[in-house]
Structure 1
Amino acid sequence: MKKRIVIIGGGASGLMAAIQAARGGASVTLLERNEKPGKKLLATGNGRCNLTNLLQKESCYHGDQREFAWKVIGGFPADRTIAFFSSLGIYTKNRDGWIYPNSDQAASVLQVLLMEASSLKVKMKTREAVRSVKKVGCTFLTETETWKYESDAVIVACGSPASSIEGASDTACAIAESFGHTVIPFRPALVPLRGQGSWFSKWAGVRISASATLILAGADARTETGEIQLTDYGISGIPVFQLSRFAVRALDEGCSVLVRLDFLPGYERENLHTYLEWRREQCPYKTLQQSLIGLVPDRLIPLVASAEADIPQTVSFLKGFPVGIRGAASLAQAQVCSGGVSTAELTEHLESMKIPGLYFVGEAVDVDGSCGGYNLQWAWSSGAAAGIHSRE
């Protein structure tokens, strides 16, 4: 008799789990609350779908047990992900280690996943919002508004509340808690940060290549470099996203959070001081503010060099502009969440240690990755691990 598996959620991890389980001969039913599966997948990589990243390190994955994620990634690593999608017809391209479909279309990735699932006779039930999951004896009962699905195993792949896309929810946590699992509260990650103060409109709209250093309780925590967007509420851009999950968690713990911006990371302080002196000597008729024209965007000039400022003060602001952080943008604006089902209560196959046959994958789990395809790699790896193990 075929093993019956119900998968809750038709996103990246759910589709991978469905395919891997069905390839092993299981009878798979996938329940998706939206009218179509894969809505969040279509939005990844600004619609281009950053499938994975060739630069894989343990430090690219975060959570209370970082080593847990790394073990799971090792079972289905980036090269296996690329081979999997190549076998489905996706020709990939490499952009400095960031892997995309050659079509630059997330829709291509979703289409081949759905075609493969269909060929394996995976039953897709859309507009099926799960109300509850219970276990009676060795059988799981998954109840929706219209039906009760019996199965031998359940894979919870219904994501997190991150994103404003329809279907984002905390259903996974509700299911986990109903079975007595510890759930680490969801918090926004890969998200813009809100600054303290009311002056941000002065720099709103500026984009600049800069470094951002996260300072927690007065100590430097980590630094990221790249294009930073200065907004009317604070700061955004990939470097800020990379710092955001740590900033948000620190604020939750009552820690003071500051981001120090270096607008000219290519200059050492002493060299920058010498360079500014030279600029003034070349055009002695200019004020200090006027001598900064062409060096940094106009909107930054009055912020880093007041009318009374001297060169040492200006260097300090150019190399270390302080932004006090009071919070982050909402979950709806976050690309992913930190938090989820505690990995301390899951096996490396993503199976519950409390309830045999119950699995949690993807964003439902307390694992989040850095920008650059790492969150999708986690989805592929965790979905594959649960799909393969659940069919055995």
Structure 2
Amino acid sequence: MRTVAVIGGGASGMMAAVTAASEGARVIILEHKDRIGKKILSTGNGRCNFTNTHQEPLCYHSEDPLFPWGIIEKFDAQKAISFFLQLGIYSKNRNGYLYPNSDQASAVLDAFRMELERLHVEIRTGVDIREILPGKKGFTIRSDHENIRADRVILCTGSRAAPATGSDGSGYDLAKRLGHRLIPVLPALVQLRCEGSFFKAVAGVRANGSVSVWFEGECIATDTGEIQLTDYGISGIPVFQVSRYAAKLLYEKKEVTAVLDFMPDFTEEQTRAFLSARAKTRPEKSADMFLIGLFHKKLSDLWIKLSRIPREQNAGTLTEDEISRLVQLIKHFEVPVKATNSYEQAQVCCGGIDTAEVDPETLESRYVPGLYFAGEILDVDGMCGGYNLQWAWASGHVAGEAATVGE
């Protein structure tokens, strides 16, 4: 019976183990934390958004944009839904976002644990891997406690995001020693730290809008949704979606600007006409009350201050130039981005093992036969909305299946 060692007991590792064991292999999970699946418990705010029915290549990012989609097509969202249904996870659909019907991430982890037990997968926790040594007949895996023999190895150690859950980047060193190179690993799906002394005054404000990342006059990425203003910068799902692009530019020492649009459904002209009509409707309103009911008061106060309009000025006396200044602030609120938050706050990372060095059909190393990769350790990251877990399921399944075939 072939022995498959899965290094890393996260989402992709558990999927790889279940798949390989289902194909008849003897499987050992080697996890350096005290238990498996810790990161799953924090996904989807503790509810585990485990996939999304809306799937297209643009939902996944990599230096080779075609690479992730080839794997996703082998194990798509419908296959993931069916897989979890077999494990007892009945799903609920919230506008394409799939969750366990119980709304508990722990249910997904428990279902995996039961399946791993049913398939007699051996789980060893608290094991730190020092080195993977390929031989003529399989591998020797050197750990802090012992040497472990395996015919095939699947490396599923995650990225550097949320290191407290186990993904501390240790797998990158193992891969580099075996000849693999890294695309620079940077925080993604993360908050952006911005310049501006006013942020403390608007901290805690949530507002619908769009956020875009700009470099040298070019819009690099944009997304729309609820923006959260913090005492250090900007957060919220649309910020997470564009953060990978800001991270890459900052890594290259480029100057990055985030532009916030707080009326994304209106053009500039429509916004100007709307504010002009609003001023005429209640001309006696003071400027500091002019935008109340339209925007959060903290934002209204900030914009009146930045537009240099006296707070006591009547709305009916606002000039075209003053309204234009307000429109500019509302539609094009520019803030320089100086950094992302750290790996501790990031949901995932961009970058990782260069996919050019991995077989796109099997996820086997092109350098080390019998070595496979799955999950976040590869240079693949998905959007918010269940895509990173879908990548974990798909890549884990493909690697787990491939590790059981052939000689």
TM-score greater than 0.5 by the shorter chain: yes
SS in 2 for 1:333: coil
Give the aligned partner of residue 227 of structure 1. 226
Q: CA deviation at 1:286?
A: 2.1
Give the aligned partner of residue 145 of structure 2. 146
Q: CA deviation at 1:189?
A: 0.2
How far apart, in 2, do the equivalents of 1:11 and 1:287 lie?
57
1:324 aligns with 2:336: yes
Give the aligned partner of residue 343 of structure 1. 355
Q: CA deviation at 1:164?
A: 4.5
Identify which of 341, 348, 354 aligns with 2:367: 354
Kindly indicate whether the alpha-carbon contact (under 8 Å) linking 1:189 and 1:244 is maintained by their aligned counterparts in 2: yes
Q: TM-score, normalised by structure 1?
A: 0.98
Q: Which runs of 4+ in 1 moved over 4 A?
A: none
Unaligned runs of 5+ in 1: none
Give the aligned partner of residue 308 of structure 2. 308
Q: CA deviation at 1:244?
A: 0.2
Q: CA deviation at 1:47?
A: 0.7
Give the aligned partner of residue 385 of structure 1. 398
Query: What does 1:121-136 correspond to in 2, within 5 Å?
Result: 121-136=120-135
How far apart, in 1, do the equivalents of 2:164 and 2:132 lie?
24
SS in 2 for 1:45: helix
Kindly indicate whether the alpha-carbon contact (under 8 Å) linking 2:47 and 2:104 is maintained by their aligned counterparts in 1: yes
Q: CA deviation at 1:137?
A: 1.8
Query: What does 1:219-298 correspond to in 2, within 5 Å?
Result: 219-298=218-297
How far apart, in 2, do the equivalents of 1:171 and 1:391 lie?
25
Identity of aligned pairs, percent? 45
1:299 aligns with 2:298: yes
How far apart, in 2, do the equivalents of 1:25 and 1:182 lie?
32
Q: CA deviation at 1:29?
A: 0.5
SS in 1 for 2:337: strand
Q: CA deviation at 1:74?
A: 0.6
How far apart, in 1, do the equivalents of 2:65 and 2:265 lie?
32
Change (3 A) 1:267 1:57: same
How far apart, in 2, do the equivalents of 1:113 and 1:169 lie?
22
SS in 2 for 1:212: strand
Kindly indicate whether the alpha-carbon contact (under 8 Å) linking 1:3 and 1:152 is maintained by their aligned counterparts in 2: yes
Query: What does 1:1-392 correspond to in 2, within 5 Å?
Result: 2-306=1-305, 308-309=308-309, 310-348=322-360, 349-392=362-405
Q: CA deviation at 1:289?
A: 3.0
Q: CA deviation at 1:217?
A: 2.1
More displaced 10-residue stretch of structure 1: 155-164 or 349-358 = 155-164
How far apart, in 2, do the equivalents of 1:168 and 1:352 lie?
21
Kindly indicate whether the alpha-carbon contact (under 8 Å) linking 2:203 and 2:231 is maintained by their aligned counterparts in 1: yes
How far apart, in 1, do the equivalents of 2:156 and 2:192 lie?
28
How far apart, in 1, do the equivalents of 2:268 and 2:395 lie?
45
How far apart, in 2, do the equivalents of 1:308 and 1:20 lie?
64
Q: CA deviation at 1:161?
A: 1.4
CA deviations 1:63-85 (Å, max 9, x no partner) are: 10110100011111111000100
More displaced 10-residue stretch of structure 1: 131-140 or 83-92 = 131-140
Kindly indicate whether the alpha-carbon contact (under 8 Å) linking 2:138 and 2:370 is maintained by their aligned counterparts in 1: no
How far apart, in 2, do the equivalents of 1:217 and 1:123 lie?
53
Kindly indicate whether the alpha-carbon contact (under 8 Å) linking 2:375 and 2:395 is maintained by their aligned counterparts in 1: yes
Give the AA of the match of 2:211. A
Q: TM-score, normalised by structure 2?
A: 0.94
More displaced 10-residue stretch of structure 1: 166-175 or 331-340 = 166-175
Kindly indicate whether the alpha-carbon contact (under 8 Å) linking 1:362 and 1:383 is maintained by their aligned counterparts in 2: yes
How far apart, in 2, do the equivalents of 1:388 and 1:76 lie?
11
Q: CA deviation at 1:340?
A: 0.8
Kindly indicate whether the alpha-carbon contact (under 8 Å) linking 1:288 and 1:305 is maintained by their aligned counterparts in 2: yes
How far apart, in 2, do the equivalents of 1:272 and 1:181 lie?
52
Give the AA of the match of 2:100. P
More displaced 10-residue stretch of structure 1: 298-307 or 83-92 = 298-307
Kindly indicate whether the alpha-carbon contact (under 8 Å) linking 2:260 and 2:331 is maintained by their aligned counterparts in 1: yes
SS in 1 for 2:301: helix
SS in 1 for 2:275: helix
State the number of aligned residues: 391
How far apart, in 2, do the equivalents of 1:162 and 1:34 lie?
15
Unaligned runs of 5+ in 2: 310-321
Q: CA deviation at 1:287?
A: 2.8
SS in 2 for 1:66: coil
